């Protein structure tokens, strides 16, 4: 096997979009480790990109998934069946062993686009699944990796620390290469703003020199970036709460949130196709639904009519 860069960022070219979903390949002395594996729809691209680096599926000893959402872990079962160990939060373990509920939930959201977006999600044999808790140490490919429990985007979310590099999944937000703007993706059903803010502070305490975002790539100004994610998350929740207080129904809330998001991004110098890419990465309907659900759980339920067309 040829020796790739210690941390290689692989663009899955999701739906033909550059810099939408990343997989990170780590070169260990005993094999290759993947952080994230993407959906089945992008598996051919991932295998081809690994092959271009001299890596075959048999060379991949371990796959670490930050959480079980399809864009992060949809092909985990395939990799498990190919011989890799799959490392996942204990709360996400069962969804990889039996993804029936996960697939059903995603199918309700994506409908006819389910196959085109994500493909299937094969179950992972439990013999190849490893459940983790906060602070667990993983020996993968000869590398020493530490698990950090980081709820907020999902209850079953882990970050993975390799020395001073930190792989952050979705908890450290979305930021496209060459941009300063960061957004916090808030799809249902697990959004918890208080937990998310706590996780951001926990990440900060790791004093990582580099963050690796699944959406998308390496960030070297870690503290400033985390500040921007914190502010973006708080502002988004406040915007939806304000809309609800004004009696906006769901469709009006989505329109309001989309217009507001565009204005916020434009004020940070994000324009044109890059602005559209940010909105595609955090679609306003899903962002609003996740925040509405959270606000309802906090004792501020939206009016019933807000869900009339949900």
What pLDDT is recorded for position 129? 98
CB 31 within 8 A of CB 141: yes
Domain boundaries, the chain: 7-230
DSSP assignment letter at 43: H
Per-residue tokens: 60? 């991949």
Tokens 């500040």, residue located: 227
Nearest by Cα to 240 from 195, 295, 280: 295
Residue 107's φ and ψ, nearest 5 degrees, are: -65, -35
Query: How many Å apart are CA 228 and CA 288, to the nearest integer?
Result: 19
Q: In the CATH scheme, what architecture does the domain 7-230 have?
A: 4-Layer Sandwich (3.60)
Tokens 């209850």, residue located: 155
What pLDDT is recorded for position 300? 60
**What is the pTM (predicted TM-score) of this model?**
0.92
Helix (H, G, I), strand (E, B) or coil at 135: coil
For residue 189, is the peptide bond before it cis, meaning its omega torsion is within 30 degrees of 0? yes
Query: How many Å apart are CA 214 and CA 225, to the nearest integer?
Result: 14
| pLDDT in 10s for each residue of the chain, 310 residues | 333 348 999 999 999 999 999 999 999 999 999 999 999 999 999 999 999 999 999 999 999 999 999 999 999 999 999 999 999 999 999 999 999 999 998 888 888 889 899 999 999 999 999 999 999 999 999 999 999 999 999 999 999 999 999 999 999 999 999 999 999 999 999 999 999 999 999 999 999 999 999 999 999 999 999 999 999 999 999 999 999 999 999 999 999 999 999 999 999 999 999 999 999 999 999 999 999 999 988 766 544 444 333 3
DSSP 62-124: EEE-SS-SHHHHTTHHHHHHTT-EEEEETTTHHHHH-THHHHHHHHHHHGGGHHHHH---PPP
DSSP assignment letter at 6: S
What is the chain's Cα-based Rg? 19
Query: How many Å apart are CA 47 and CA 32, to the nearest integer?
Result: 13
What pLDDT is recorded for position 236? 96
Which residues have CB under 8 Å from 224's CB, separation 6+?
Answer: none
Q: In Å, how far are 21, 54, 57, 168 from 62, measured between CA atoms? A: 19, 17, 10, 17
What residues are paired with 165 via a beta bridge? Answer: 162, 210
Query: How many Å apart are CA 231 and CA 227, to the nearest integer?
Result: 6
Tokens 């985390």, residue located: 226
Tokens 């590398």, residue located: 143
Phi-psi region of 249 (alpha: psi -120 to 50; beta: other; left: phi over 0): beta
Query: How many Å apart are CA 278 and CA 290, to the nearest integer?
Result: 17
What pLDDT is recorded for position 306? 42
């Amino acid at each position: 096997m040829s020796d790739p860069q210690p941390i290689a960022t692989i663009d899955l070219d999701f739906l033909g979009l550059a810099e939408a979903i990343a997989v990170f390949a780590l070169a260990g002395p005993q094999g290759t480790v993947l952080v994230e594996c993407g959906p089945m729809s992008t598996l051919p691209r991932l295998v081809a990109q690994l092959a271009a680096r001299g890596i075959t599926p048999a060379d991949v000893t371990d796959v670490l998934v930050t959480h079980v959402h399809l864009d992060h872990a949809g092909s985990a079962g395939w990799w498990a069946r190919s011989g890799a160990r799959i490392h996942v939060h204990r709360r996400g373990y069962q969804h990889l062993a039996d993804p029936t509920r996960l697939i059903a939930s995603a199918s309700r959201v994506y409908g006819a686009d389910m196959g085109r977006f994500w493909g299937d999600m094969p179950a992972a044999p439990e013999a190849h699944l490893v459940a983790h808790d906060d602070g667990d140490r993983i020996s993968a490919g000869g590398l020493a990796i530490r698990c950090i429990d980081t709820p907020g985007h999902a209850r079953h979310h882990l970050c993975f620390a390799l020395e001073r590099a930190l792989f952050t999944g979705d908890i450290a937000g979305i930021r496209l290469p060459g941009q300063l703007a960061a957004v916090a993706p808030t799809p249902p059903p697990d959004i918890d703003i208080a937990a998310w803010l706590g996780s951001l502070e926990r990440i900060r305490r790791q004093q990582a020199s580099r963050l690796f975002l699944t959406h998308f790539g390496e960030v070297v100004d870690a503290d400033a970036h985390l500040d921007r994610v914190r502010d973006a998350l708080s502002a988004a929740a406040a915007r939806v709460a304000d809309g609800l207080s004004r009696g906006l129904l769901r469709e009006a809330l989505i329109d309001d949130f989309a217009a507001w998001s565009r204005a916020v991004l434009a004020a940070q110098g994000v324009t044109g196709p890059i602005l559209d890419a940010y909105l595609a990465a955090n679609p306003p309907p899903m962002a609003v639904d996740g925040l509405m659900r959270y606000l309802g759980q906090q004792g501020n339920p939206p009016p019933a009519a807000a869900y009339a067309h949900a």
